[in-house]
Amino acid sequence: MLTVEPDSLESFARATIEASGATPEIAETVARSLVSSDLVGHSSHGVVRLPYYADQIAAGTVDPTAMPSIEQTGLFHQIDGSGAFGQVTGRRAVELLLETTNEHGVGVVGIRNSGHLGRIGEWADRIADEGLLFSSWVNLQGGAQRIAPPGTADRRLGTNPITFAVPTFDALDFNLLYDGATSQVAHGKIIERDGSGETLPPAWTITESGEPVEYAADFEDQVGALLPLGGTESGHKGFGLAIMAELFASLVGDGPVSTKESQDWAGNGAAFLAIDPSVFTTREAISIRVEALIEYLRSAEPIADDGEVILPGEPEHRTARERRDQGIPIEDAVADNLETVATDRDVEDALPPAFR
Ligand code: NAD
C-alpha cells in the first residue's frame, strides 16, 4: 500500500487526463473531482477510475474535449452531457443551480447523456457550502443494470444514488450529507475488491440459488445481482427508492430508463434540486435547530464501549481531515494500474514521488 500526498496525486491525474486528449481546464476539473473522492474516503470514485476513463475515451463513449449543452425553460435548465466528462457536466449543473437559486429561491436542473457524475456528494456539498439545501435523484440511463427486484436475482436497475445536503452554518463544521446508492453498496465497492481475493460481504448480493455472490470477479462476470438497500429483509424500501430515482432522473432529465434494450454504458441521468432555506427561515434558526437536533441525537447512549453516534457526512469529513494531513492510501493493485496508464500515456514523470 502506498500513501500519496493529495496535490501530487491530483497533478498526476491531471497529466494523465490531459495526455488522453482533454484540454488543461477539463483535465483539472476531472482530476480535482477524482482526488476529492479519494480524500473523503470514497476511493471507489477516485483515481481508481483513471484506467476506465482512458478506456471510455478510446471507445469513444467520452469525448475529452466536449462541453455539455444547455437548454433553458423559464427558471429551469436541462443539460445534455453531449459526451463530455461527467465532472464537467456536474460542475456546470452546480453553477446553474447556484445562479438560479440565489436569484429565485429554487433551482431545478435535469441532466441526460452525462458521463459518470462520480460521487454525487461532491455536487451536494458545493451547493450546501453556499447555504442552500440540495437533493438529487440519479440513474444510470438504463445501463449498468445491477440491482435485482426483491425476491429475484435478475439485474434490472442501476445503483441509482439519492442524495441530500443541508448546510449547518455554525452548528457543525461540515454539511449534513446523505449520499448513498439505493443498492446495499455502490458498485464501486465491489470493483475495489476485484482481484483482492477477499470474499464479498454476504449481505450485498444474491444469486439464483438464493446464496450471495462470493467473489467480486464473479459479480463482474455477471453472476448474481446487488440486493436493493434493505437487503433480503427490507429490500422493498431500496427497490422503491431506486425506481423513484430512475424515474425522477429520467423525467426531469428527459433521458432513458432501464429496459431490456438498454445499452450497458455507465453514464448518468439526473434531477438536481436546490432550495434557498432563507426564503422560509433565517440562518440563525437553521443553526439553532440543527444544533438542537444533533445534541439530542448524540445524547443517545451507545451500546458498545467504543460506540458513538455518527452523522451523515461525518465519516467523509473526518477522513478528508485525516488524509489531507497524512496522505491518501492507494492499494497496490490500483497503484499497478495507475503505473500502466502512466506508461501508456507517456506521463511516467508525473507519477507522484511515492511511486518512485
Ligand atoms: P455509503 O454507504 O458509504 O454512505 C452512504 C451515506 O451514509 C453517506 O452519506 C455517509 O456519510 C453515511 N454514512 C456512512 N457511514 C455512516 C455511519 N457509520 N453513520 C452515519 N452515517 C454514515 O455510500 P454508498 O451507497 O456506498 O455510495 C458511495 C458513493 O457512490 C456515493 O458518493 C454515491 O454518490 C456514489 N454513487 C455514484 C453513482 C453514480 O452513478 N454516479 C452510483 C451509485 C453510487
The pTM for the full model equals 0.96
Write the single-letter amino acid at 333.
A
Do 251 and 135 have their domain in common? yes
Of 162, 183, 154, 188, nearest to 260 by C-alpha is 154
Do 108 and 177 have their domain in common? yes
Q: Which domain holds residue 254?
A: 68-184+227-299
Do 244 and 355 have their domain in common? no
DSSP 129-188: TTT-EEEEEEE-TT-S--BPPTT-----B----EEEEE--TTS-SS-EEEEE-SBSS-HH
Do 13 and 147 have their domain in common? no
Do 97 and 113 have their domain in common? yes
Do 177 and 294 have their domain in common? yes
Ligand 1 pocket by C-beta < 6 Å: which residues?
42, 45, 116-121, 138, 140, 159, 161, 177-181, 185-186, 188-189, 268, 310, 312-313, 315-316
Give the pLDDT of the chain (356 residues) as one tens digit per residue: 899 999 999 999 999 999 999 999 999 999 999 999 999 999 989 999 998 888 888 888 899 999 999 999 989 999 999 999 999 999 999 999 999 999 999 999 999 999 999 999 999 999 999 999 999 999 999 999 999 999 999 999 999 999 999 999 989 999 999 999 999 999 988 988 887 788 999 999 999 999 999 999 999 999 999 999 999 999 999 999 999 999 999 999 999 999 999 887 779 999 999 999 999 999 999 999 999 999 999 999 999 999 999 999 999 999 999 999 999 999 888 999 999 999 999 999 999 999 98
Ligand 1 mean position, distance from CA 120 (Å)? 9
Q: What is the DSSP letter of 83?
A: T
pLDDT of res. 24: 96
Residue reference for cell 477522513? 319
Q: Does 60 reside within a domain?
A: yes
Do 244 and 118 have their domain in common? yes
Ligand 1 mean position, distance from CA 74 (Å)? 33
Q: Does 205 reside within a domain?
A: no
Q: Does 305 reside within a domain?
A: no
Do 34 and 21 have their domain in common? yes
Distance CA(339)–CA(343), nearest Å, equals 6
Residue nearest to atom 41 of ligand 1 (CA): 118
pLDDT of res. 170: 87
How many structural domains compose the chain? Answer: 2
pLDDT of res. 54: 85
pLDDT of res. 356: 83
- Among 33, 37, 42, name the best residue to mutate to test ligand 1's pocket (greatest count of ligand atoms within 8 A of Cβ): 42
Do 160 and 59 have their domain in common? no
Do 116 and 242 have their domain in common? yes
Between helix 24-39 and helix 6-19 the angle, nearest 10°, is 140
- Among 42, 123, 179, name the best residue to mutate to test ligand 1's pocket (greatest count of ligand atoms within 8 A of Cβ): 179
Alpha helices in the chain (DSSP H): 6-19, 24-39, 50-59, 86-104, 120-128, 187-193, 216-220, 231-253, 283-298, 314-326, 332-344
Query: Which CATH number fits the domain that encloses residue 266?
Result: 3.30.1370.60
Ligand 1, atom nearest to 118 Cα: 41
